[in-house]
Amino acid sequence: MRGRILFVTLLATAGICAMPAAQASEALLKKYNCTACHAIDKKLVGPSYKDVAKKYKGQKDAADMLAQKIKKGGKGVWGPVPMPPNPAVSDADLKKMVSFILAL
């Protein structure tokens, strides 16, 4: 039984490491529960990531600004509903998720 759990864990870990960057970023969005409020191409509680990409297209400081917003929370840009802060997300993960979103 133990051996089997270990084997499955190893397989899962290998799978995550072998993921291409985009898939890994999508996994991060799930891991941090961003998917509870955001979807790639439809509005949920927050804007769709495609709309976010469209809005900030061509703005070169958008990535840093959005990373800060995700970490500290934000409101007033997309409507009356605020996004709560996500302080547990590391800067490296923030960067990956923001580049993924902006590239959509």
Footprint of ligand HEC (CB under 6 A): 29, 32-34, 36-38, 45-47, 52, 66, 69-70, 74-79, 81-84, 86, 89, 97, 101
Cα distance between residue 12 and residue 16, in whole Å: 6
Q: Which is nearer to ligand HEC, 13 or 35 (CB)?
A: 35
CB of 57 to ligand HEC, least distance (A): 12
Q: Which is nearer to ligand HEC, 9 or 90 (CB)?
A: 90
CB of 15 to ligand HEC, least distance (A): 22
CB of 52 to ligand HEC, least distance (A): 5
Cα distance between residue 95 and residue 104, in whole Å: 15
Cα distance between residue 59 and residue 2, in whole Å: 51
Cα distance between residue 46 and residue 39, in whole Å: 8
The answer to whether the beta carbons of residues 86 and 71 sit under 8 Å apart is yes
